[in-house]
Amino acid sequence: MEDSTTSREKILKKVRKALISTGKEEIAGNIDLDSPIYETPNEPLEIMFAQQFTQLNGKFIFCEHEADFVANLQALITENKWDQVYAIDPKITDMLKKGAVPFSDKPQDLPLTNAGLTGCEYLVARLGTIMVSSRQGSGRRMLVLPNYHIVVAYTSQLVLHLKDAFKGIRDKYGAQPPSLISAISGPSRTADIEKTLVQGAHGPKEIYVMLIDDHVH
């Protein structure tokens, strides 16, 4: 019995020693948290984002410039037979006014509007994810009330990793960060009811990203 107890104590002692050694190495700063864990992609970020986003059942439309965005939006409105769209972001409403696109910015119209246009903070190419925050001009309700959520973004808002988006938001807002930061990866989905997959279980049933190229050529 004594031999058995002694052996067990020896094993436990070795385990404790190993754990202490590992802890000391970690505290010493031997863990690399900065080096990238993925290979640098060979394809442009807009292509990577489009591939990932469409795999998540999102709809992607590339626009060569702002006038192209207006033309594509008008075609989308006609195709879906929307009477009007809802937008309150000043940059978006300016484009709609210039393009003579009917829209509403009255709060009482939002619950009755099928399609809402918002901007975003960033597009995360590797994940096909849209980063939004409460500090945007569109507010929170625009993210959940319309059946169709149309995100208007620019190629300059593309980043490779999620950490890049968080860093950009932190640098942008500094000591007054948004009270809400959310990542949208396609329409919501659930199979809770009789194992039948339902898209748009809560929030918009379809999400579009209309990406405007603002790179200098």
Describe the chain by its helix, strand, coil percentages, rounded to 5: 40, 20, 40
The confidence score (pLDDT) of residue 191 equals 44
Q: Is 191 left (phi over 0), alpha (psi -120 to 50) or beta?
A: alpha
| CATH of segment(s) 35-212 | 3.40.50.10420
Looking at the chain, the whole-number percentage of residues with pLDDT higher than 90 is 56
**Is the pTM of the predicted complex or chain greater than 0.85?**
no
**Segment 53-82, tens digit of pLDDT:** 999 999 999 999 999 999 999 999 999 999
Report how far residue 53's alpha carbon sits from residue 60's, in angstroms, rounded to the nearest whole number. Answer: 7
Distance CA 65, CA 79 (A): 21
Is 105's pLDDT higher than 80? Answer: yes
Q: What mean pLDDT value characterizes the chain?
A: 83
- Asked if residue 190 has pLDDT above 60, the reply is no
Residue 39 DSSP class = P
What confidence score (pLDDT) does residue 200 get?
A: 44
Sequence ranges of the domains in the chain: 1-31, 35-212
